[in-house]
Amino acid sequence: MNLIKPVWLPEKFKVNFRACKLWAWRIHRELYPFGNRGELRATAAINGLRLRSHLRFSRKCSGGYTLTRIHYVIVGIVATIVTLSGVPAQAGDDLMERALEAFKPIPSVVPAIKGNAVTHEKVELGKLLFFDPRLSASEIISCNTCHNLATGGVDAGPTSVGHGWQKGPRRSPTVFNAVFNVAQFWDGRAVDLKTQAKSPIQESVEMNATPDHVVNTLSSMPGYVELFKKAFPNEASPVSFDNFAKAIEAFEATLITPASKFDQFLEGDANALNAQEKAGLSAFLGKGCAGCHYGINVGGQDYFPFGIVETPGGDVLPPADKGRFTVTRTASDEYVFRAAPLRNVALRAPYFHSGQVWSLKQAVGVMGTAQLWAKLTDKEEDDIVAFLDTLTGQLPRIDYPILPVRTNNTPEPSFK
Amino acid sequence: MNLIKPVWLPEKFKVNFRACKLWAWRIHRELYPFGNRGELRATAAINGLRLRSHLRFSRKCSGGYTLTRIHYVIVGIVATIVTLSGVPAQAGDDLMERALEAFKPIPSVVPAIKGNAVTHEKVELGKLLFFDPRLSASEIISCNTCHNLATGGVDAGPTSVGHGWQKGPRRSPTVFNAVFNVAQFWDGRAVDLKTQAKSPIQESVEMNATPDHVVNTLSSMPGYVELFKKAFPNEASPVSFDNFAKAIEAFEATLITPASKFDQFLEGDANALNAQEKAGLSAFLGKGCAGCHYGINVGGQDYFPFGIVETPGGDVLPPADKGRFTVTRTASDEYVFRAAPLRNVALRAPYFHSGQVWSLKQAVGVMGTAQLWAKLTDKEEDDIVAFLDTLTGQLPRIDYPILPVRTNNTPEPSFK
């Protein structure tokens, strides 16, 4: 098994309990599917050096599995050996090469979706559905209300407001590039965009509708019936809640933002980033940010505890929101969240699932103290923010839709 | 003075108290600016015949002026004389000619705005402002929330929901072709679109913001500051609440919907309407609908009492909403509203200021009993609906904007 993806350890790796937590966490998570037994090869890279460790776990337990201090120490020692066995970083390391080990550029073509061909007809239908407030109970809230394509695919925050002016518990995640995330929502409770699309529309604090309301509303408008027929040909009942979700997934798959300065850099243009941005990228890799924020979305690929080094204040990490724990009911998933995907992050203040940090520099600082083992200097924070600014890509131009006309059979809004 | 615009009297004009009300109303309104004294020439047309009457009023009164039964009777008699002196309708009347006396086609070019040149820069800025929810206190309500360009320039109704989930008192009026209305709002309390734009943003039940919030928000974003400079060159302080309203007015002036089937008919294509649509147009003219709904917007040109013949039920005409009375504080303006502009009316259920009638045919029926003096037959209602369907024009294609990015100085949302 080679389960662990490349992990970037901090440049100055200190062997202490806290420093091992993140590393232990990732090993634990990979083992977990095998009943807490197993072996794995962990791969790490520091400054372009690829390091490997081979680790066996044989702990057997019943019920909830919690990482203990002993586990952290064991794994920490392993990690340290791995680290120390590496050759020290070379001054002449190629930043682009290191970046390419951690990240991938956003493709310029729409990615394929397994089991849901992204056809022109489906995308066009999905766009209408995404913008149609009449699918919510009140008929004034659309997907775009909270995932506003005019403002980075999110609302103004801090957390979303839905039916009856109820405040949701978390910051709206962006739909831009969401197709590249390992799963959807801050806690990853939806395996894909199709599954995600079915959730907010039914949530009582969001759109507060039912699948029946959605299907009845869509079926009442000949304009929609025709579009569903075209998007799902050869189906006996094209207007269905499943197909509603599939069409939205197809549209959202097109919401990718290629051609950022960082993408140009990854694609070989060494001059796409200026000196400060390169310094920021170097710090991002070297300080361990890329340990969680890696892959095509510079995040969004895996789950990590928030507060691995130091627990943030209750405003940033509200005690009541236990994150992925509510999905897995596993104690070790308490305060675990999907690493935020950082594409276009500069467009999306306020930050974190709580939406309580309005400045990107401050957010970088919080990450430094909460997740890393060295407080970032002011210059490092500025450099990292400069690098994060280069993650803003070309947002797709959207032709604002003209929606099918309601009929006398269309359900009326309900505000209760 | 030739103050009164052409008025279409019903084909079968009955001389009774109620039948005179509308006619009296219009004469009264034209006289009012002259201190209840004056003379006028009233022009009426029945089945293509143009009829004129010459009327003198010399009543002098102090304080509020109310139309009395005597006035109605006087005017009724005059109207009757006018009517009876007309030659009976000819079978070979030209429908297109009659239509051209009452209506004008929507121009294909954006109309000029007095004192506010509609420049490309202003329109582009106005579009951003129109779609920007961050200008509201909660930062989730934009102009487009209630005047949704995807659904005929209105929300789903019945009345709009604003800050704190408060329900507004009236149905959202459409922004499409609003530039052609005599004034804005159901009660005409804003003389133009610029004045209108300043209102909902400040209303506590709508966007609940202040001019300061708007200016501070816009000033905090360099993207906006740049756009204001371009739209209002040579101004010392281009980012102002006044200029915010001017830019929105300029954008809204572009929201016109030419090239409907009816426009094609008015422009000379006799075949643009089919037989039923022509029958509907003929009924619309002959039954008196065009007495209020005339001009380029097929309405929106003047104010009329709702319930001139028969007061509708309290659901359709809620007793608490006295219409234009709240603007003028004149007793005769109780339950007076601006005649609804009927362009694209088929896209905009539910109907009336109360938004309580969801079917266009039913709305036509209500108008028949409330405003006219002959109940419309089922066929007449169907014909008129078919005609109203021809008022749906070509809606402008809108490129959904990408809004300037908020900064650390941008005010945070407030949900209280």
pLDDT of residue B228: 98
DSSP 8-state symbol, B154: S
Phi and psi at residue B205, to the nearest 5°: -90, 0
Cross-strand bridge partners of residue B41: B54
**Percentage of chain A surpassing pLDDT 70?**
78
Among chain A residues, CA nearest to B164: A165
The mean pLDDT value for A258-264 works out to: 98
ipTM, two decimals, is 0.84
Residue A228 has pLDDT above 90, yes or no: yes
- List Cβ neighbours of A370 (8 Å cut-off, separation of 6 or more): A306, A307, A308, A309, A310, A311, A312, A317
List residues of A whose CB lies inside 8 A of any B CB: 131-134, 138-140, 145, 148-152, 155-158, 161, 164-165, 167, 346-347, 349-350, 358-359, 395, 397-403, 405-406, 408, 412-413, 415
Question: Is the peptide bond between A158 and the residue preceding it cis, with omega within 30 degrees of 0?
Answer: yes
Mind spelling out the 3-state secondary structure of B88-150?
Answer: CCCCCCCHHHHHHHHECCCCCCCCCCCCCCCCHHHHHHHHHHHHCHHHCCCCCCCHHHHCCCC
Which chain A residues are closer than 8 Å to B358 by Cβ? 408, 412
The least confident of A186-190, A276-280, A369-373, A406-410 is A369-373
Please state the rounded mean pLDDT for residues A386-412.
97
Contact: B415, A167; criterion CB under 8 Å: yes
Cβ contacts of residue A225 below 8 Å, gap of 6+?
A: A218, A219, A238, A239
Which tens digit of pLDDT belongs to each residue from A1-15? 233 333 444 444 433
Q: Which two tokens stand for residue A106?
A: 């956003």
Q: Could you tell me the two tokens for B243? A: 């200029």
User: Quick one: which of A264, A277, A249 has its CA closest to A108?
Assistant: A264
Q: Which fold has domain A96-106+258-389?
A: Cytochrome Bc1 Complex; Chain D, domain 2 (1.10.760)
How near does any CA of chain B get to the CA of A150, in Å?
Answer: 4
| Cα angle: B163, vertex B165, B169; to 5 degrees | 85
Rounded to 5°, angle at Cα A276 from A312 and A298: 50
Reported confidence tier of residue A78, pLDDT bands at 50, 70, 90: low
State percent of chain B over pLDDT 90: 76
Cβ contact B156–A133 (<8 Å): yes
Chain B residue closest to A410 (CA)?
B358
> How far away is chain B from the Cα of A314, in angstroms, using its nearest Cα?
19
The DSSP 8-state label assigned to residue A298 in this structure reads T
Cα end-to-end distance, chain A, whole Å = 53
CB contact under 8 Å between A397 and B401, yes or no, is: no
Statement: A120-253 belongs to CATH 1.20.1630.10: no
Task: Specify whether the CB–CB gap between B188 and B182 falls below 8 A.
Answer: yes
On chain B, the residues whose CB falls within 8 A of the CB of A164 are: 165
Chosen from B147, B165, B416 to mutate, greatest number of chain A CBs within 10 A: B165
Mean pLDDT over residues B266-283, rounded?
A: 97
The CA R_g of chain B, rounded to the nearest whole Å, is 23
A373 — pLDDT class (breaks 50, 70, 90): confident
Tell me how far apart the alpha carbons of residues A58 and B224 are, in angstroms, rounded to a whole number: 60
**Do B232 and B119 contact (CB within 8 A), yes or no?**
no
Domains B96-106+258-389 and B120-253 belong to one CATH topology? yes
The 10s digit of each residue's pLDDT in A142-190 is 999 999 999 999 999 999 999 999 999 999 999 999 999 999 999 999 9
In angstroms, what separates the C-alpha of A14 from chain B's closest C-alpha?
35
Q: Using DSSP, state whether A4 is helix, strand or coil.
A: coil
In angstroms, the CA A335 to CA A370 distance is 12
| Cβ–Cβ under 8 Å, residues A262 and A273 | yes
User: What's the rounded Cα separation, in Å, for the pair B134 and B216?
Assistant: 11
B403 and A150: CB-CB below 8 Å?
yes
Q: Among B198, B297, B209, which Cα is nearest to B244's?
A: B198
Q: Do B156 and A139 touch (CB under 8 A)?
A: yes
| Contact status, residue A309 vs residue A303, Cβ threshold 8 Å | no
Calculate mean pLDDT across residues A248-266.
98
Other Cβ atoms closer than 10 A to B65? 17
**Is the pLDDT at A322 greater than 80, yes or no?**
yes
Question: How far is it, in rounded angstroms, from Cα B412 to Cα A158?
Answer: 9
Q: Which of A134, A160, A402 to mutate to test binding with chain B, by most B CBs within 10 Å of its CB?
A: A402
Residues of B within an 8 Å Cβ radius of A: 131-134, 138-140, 145, 148-152, 155-158, 161, 164-165, 167, 346-347, 349-350, 358-359, 395, 397-403, 405-406, 408, 412-413, 415
Segment A101-129 mean pLDDT: 97
Classify strands A38-46 and A7-8 as parallel, antiparallel or unpaired: parallel
Instruction: Quote the minimal CA–CA distance from B215 to chain A in Å.
Output: 17
Interface contact flag, B139 A155, Cβ < 8 Å: yes
Selected for mutation to probe chain B from A161, A221, A351 (highest B CB count within 10 Å) is A161
Checking if the pLDDT of B52 tops 60, the result is: no
Residue B232 C-alpha from the chain's centroid: 29
Residue B303 in 3-state DSSP?
strand
Q: Which pLDDT does position B350 carry in this prediction?
A: 98
Is residue A380 annotated as a catalytic residue, yes or no?
no
- Residue B373's pLDDT is 74
Is pLDDT larger for residue B45 or for residue B256?
A: B256
Compute φ and ψ for B398, nearest 5 degrees: -110, 125
**pLDDT value of residue B345:** 98
Whole-number average pLDDT of chain A: 85
Catalytic residue among A30, A139, A206, A277: A206
Interface contact flag, B402 A395, Cβ < 8 Å: yes
Phi first, then psi, for residue A191 (nearest 5°) are: -70, -25
Whole-number Å distance between alpha carbons of A339 and B331: 65
The rounded distance, in Å, linking the Cα atoms of A350 and A363 is 9
Taking CB atoms and an 8 Å limit, are A398 and B400 in contact across chains? yes
Separation CA A73–CA A37 (nearest Å): 18
pLDDT of B122 higher than 80: yes
Q: How close, in Å, is residue B32 to chain A by CA atoms?
A: 42
Residue B308, pLDDT score:
87
Is the pLDDT confidence value at A88 over 50? Answer: no
Instruction: Give the pLDDT mean for B222-241.
Output: 98
Q: Which of B161, B398, B406 sits opposite A400 (nearest CB)?
A: B398
Residue of A145, A358, A412 with shortest CB distance to B358? A412
**Separation in Å, CA of B349 to nearest CA in chain A:** 8
Tokens representing A208 are 């507060």
- pLDDT band, residue B37 (cuts 50/70/90): very low
Residues in B touching A359 (Cβ below 8 Å): 408
Does the pTM of the predicted model rise above 0.90? no
Mean pLDDT of the B334-339 span? 96
Q: Following CA atoms A58, A60, A64, A67 in sequence, which dihedral angle do they give, to the nearest 10 degrees?
A: -30
Q: Catalytic pick from B139, B206, B252, B381?
A: B206
Q: Do B161 and A150 lie within an 8 Å CB cutoff?
A: no
- A124-140 pLDDT per residue, tens: 999 999 999 999 999 99
Domain boundaries, chain A: 7-91, 96-106+258-389, 120-253
Distance CA B299, CA B303 (A): 9
* Residue A227 contacts residue A121 (beta carbons within 8 Å): yes
Q: Which of B2, B3, B4, B6 is nearest to B288 (CA)?
A: B6
Which 8-state DSSP code applies to residue A80?
Answer: H
CB-based contact B358 A408, cutoff 8 Å: yes
How many angstroms separate the Cα of B365 from the Cα of each of A250, A396, B286, B361? 44, 46, 15, 6
pLDDT at B81: 52
Say whether A157 and B413 touch across the interface (CB within 8 A). Answer: yes
- Check residue A71 and give its pLDDT: 58
**In this complex, how many residue pairs, one in chain A and one in chain B, have their CB atoms less than 8 Å apart?**
101
